Amino acid sequence: MLYQLTKAAHLVSLFVWIGGMVAVALALRYPALIHMKPLKGYDRAITTPAMILALSFGIWLGVQGGWFTSAWLGMKILLVLTLCGLHGALVGKLRRATSQSPEEFAPSGPILLPAGLLLMTLIILLVTTKP
């Protein structure tokens, strides 16, 4: 039961984390539509803590299930670290965007959203198929 509850917590925090990343990627792509400053606060208060929780619950699942000797988890962790790097890149761009005036700011990061979605797909394929 504890394992299932940890998995549920892992998935809920993942949804919140990935949702926050998608919002930032869209804001950078279509800056006229979205105010950047509230998004920066949202990232700090919600998205980044959700990322930390998702990783912590994932590690806890790995410990409970004795998965850390499995190759799929090693590959998954490499991809997860890349996804964390992508989150860092998005937040860096968001910070720069909030310090610029709207006229100076040009849409950016066209590949960040597809790259994030591709990484997420690969991670989910790894965990569901466990090659």
Binding site for ligand HEM (CB under 6 A): 7, 10, 14, 54-55, 58-59, 61-62, 65, 67, 77, 80, 83, 120, 123-124, 127-128
Q: How far apart are CA 58 and CA 11, in angstroms?
A: 9
**In the complex with ligand HEM, which residue's Cβ is closer, 26 or 127?**
127
Task: In angstroms, give the least distance from the CB of 49 to ligand HEM.
Answer: 15
Q: How far apart are CA 70 and CA 106, in angstroms?
A: 44
Residue for token pair 């990061």: 109
Task: In angstroms, give the least distance from the CB of 23 to ligand HEM.
Answer: 16
**In the complex with ligand HEM, which residue's Cβ is closer, 5 or 124?**
124
